[in-house]
Amino acid sequence: MRVGVFDSGVGGLSVLKSLYEANLFEEIIYYGDTARVPYGVKDKETIVKFCLEALEFFKTFKIDMLIIACNTASAYALEALRTRADFPIYGVIEAGVRATCKNLKDKDKEILVIATKATINSKQYQIGLKKEGFTRVKALATGLFVPMVEEGIFEGEFLKSAFLHYFKDVKSPDALILACTHFPLLSKALSEFFGSKTRLIHSGEAIVEFLKENSRLKFLDKRANLRFYASSDVKTLEKTAKLWLNLS
């Protein structure tokens, strides 16, 4: 089976990593819209337009399934994409909400959702979590993390300063939902900052579990063939992918 993975930039590599290590596909085609990242500061019409253009790109590969790794794109463009495709398309938000439900049995636990401004403003996570009965859900736009990841900044004083800026009034939550696919690349630094009390939940692990439960995918005995594409500077994307996936 051939799957497409779409993201606004390199952040979707966090989802790709989970899919790659799950051994569910024979081939994975990744496309990052690196020329127009970030999506999280753009309006809905623009986000939908960019996503529909990406869909046309993927149609040339005759994929069997498309995963929208970008949370912002999942929030605003998923339904529009599904009306234009003859193959299944999955976003990451529903999977993220389900993963939170599995990890937190106590509905009174404190949850912090961090994402781009557009994803936070869509209220998709807040609404989904409250429908599941969670009573203490906070959401915080942390958009500066996106360009930092795009620049390969995964640790150090610059990143720590950004943490102190955004989280100065935040106590360690019980769960931290990394509601932008760029953010899992900061998992190590975030775990160190918040401590062992905080459970990190990210889109890659969530979508793998979602697919296992809702698709007829079977475990394969070898890794998928990977193909990388980008709207700009594909070499940098490939370099980050090799680093993140430990590819030679």
Q: At what angle do helices 203-214 and 93-103 cross, to 10 degrees?
A: 90
Amino acid at 6: F
> CA-to-CA distance for 91 and 207, rounded, in angstroms?
8
Amino acid at 166: Y
Hey, which residues are catalytic here?
A: 70, 180
